[in-house]
Amino acid sequence: MKLKEIYDLIIKMGIEYDPRGSETVQKQLAKEKKKIEDLKEEERKEVDPDRLFNPYTDTRVLYGDPERPIKRILAGIDMEVGEVLLADRLAEKGRPVDLIMAHHPEGKATAGLYDVMHLQEDLLAQLGVPINVAEGIMAGRIGEVRRGLMPLNHNRAVDAAKLLDIPLMCCHTPADNMVTEYVQKKIDQSNCETLGDIIKVLKEIPEYAEAVKTGAGPTVVVGSKERRAGKVFVDMTGGTSGSEDAYAKLAAAGVGTVVVMHISEKHRKEAEKNHVNVIIAGHMASDSLGMNLILDEIAKQGVEILTCSGLIRVQR
């Protein structure tokens, strides 16, 4: 495959499995196009052209010729300078890497991470939280994340990849959309009554079963295995953790349990205060599942996949 074909496939899959629905995503792209067209010529020069077709600012080709043929990918969760050097070392060992694919964003995709968090507003609205309330509680958190990203030296891995001439890209929200849809569907189909039932279902998924062996498997952090689950919300996409104020609104909307990749202590306390059960599925396992679902489609085209940096590779 060519690098551009891999990028296009990832965006296509991200939109297809976006929990908001592809129609909502297409409307977002149309609004973005109109916004760019309305800019002055000088302002338009500063706009990332990918925004016209890619709704996920945390997913980008960071370096590489779009027409470059890709036969072997080195994929992982965090692909930083060390992993770029690993790719170069593999070439010295006779296994040249044509593309480094990170899950977590690097470079300008890191700087744009905050923008995909608007996705969470629509998810809250789907669960019954009024959209004005959803936008209100997310506004402060999005601003907080944006300011927190500003001081980061986020282009280090990109600079290393350029020096060694190894294409580099990251695939964040599309993979998170995949894992969200997969886990939500599996839990819904299993008619889980208790939190223990949800844990059991998660452990049937190979990535989570493997994570159990390393002490990073599914865990109840609010509630107990005997507690009834009620309405289950799998919350694994939308850039990063949302506002802790969301738990009160989720409880009012009838959500009994949230299944997340990870949770801060501040968020956990708010969930506990509002009697919302929380299950941590596991960060690396969840990221691996989402990436695997995308990598499987790429592998079908004859591309070899090597993995590192915490990615638990399972082929389906």
* Contact between 97 and 306 (Cβ < 8 Å): yes
| pLDDT score for 184 | 98
Domains and CATH numbers, the chain: 3-173+287-308 (no CATH), 178-282 (3.40.1390.30)
pLDDT band at 25 (very low <50, low <70, confident <90, very high): very high
User: Which tokens in the block code for residue 178?
Assistant: 């995949």
| pLDDT score for 232 | 98
Question: How far apart, in whole angstroms, are the C-alpha atoms of residue 90 and residue 79?
Answer: 15
Q: How far is CA 54 from CA 50, 119, 302, in A?
A: 6, 14, 25
- Mean pLDDT across the stretch 271-275? 98
| pLDDT score for 41 | 87
- Mean pLDDT across the stretch 106-126? 96
> pLDDT tens across 50-109, in order?
999 999 999 999 999 999 999 999 999 999 999 999 999 999 999 999 999 999 999 999
| pLDDT score for 244 | 95
* Contact between 261 and 287 (Cβ < 8 Å): yes
pLDDT band at 162 (very low <50, low <70, confident <90, very high): very high
Q: How far is CA 296 from CA 121, 133, 173, in A?
A: 30, 39, 17
Over pLDDT 90: what percentage of the chain?
97
Question: How far apart, in whole angstroms, are the C-alpha atoms of residue 297 and residue 236?
Answer: 21
Question: Average model confidence (pLDDT) for the chain?
Answer: 97
In the sheet with 277-280, reading across from the earlier edge strand, the strands are: 219-222, 277-280, 255-260, 231-235
> Looking at the chain, which runs of residues are DSSP E strands?
60-63, 72-76, 99-102, 168-170, 219-222, 231-235, 255-260, 277-280, 304-308
Position 143 pLDDT exceeds 90? yes
Pick the range with the lowest mean pLDDT from 44-53, 230-239, 277-286: 44-53
- Mean pLDDT across the stretch 102-126? 97
- Mean pLDDT across the stretch 141-160? 96
For CA atoms 28, 34, 40, 44, give the dihedral sign: positive
| pLDDT score for 33 | 93
> pLDDT tens across 178-233, in order?
999 999 999 999 999 999 999 999 999 999 999 999 999 999 999 999 999 999 99
Question: How far apart, in whole angstroms, are the C-alpha atoms of residue 291 and residue 205?
Answer: 14
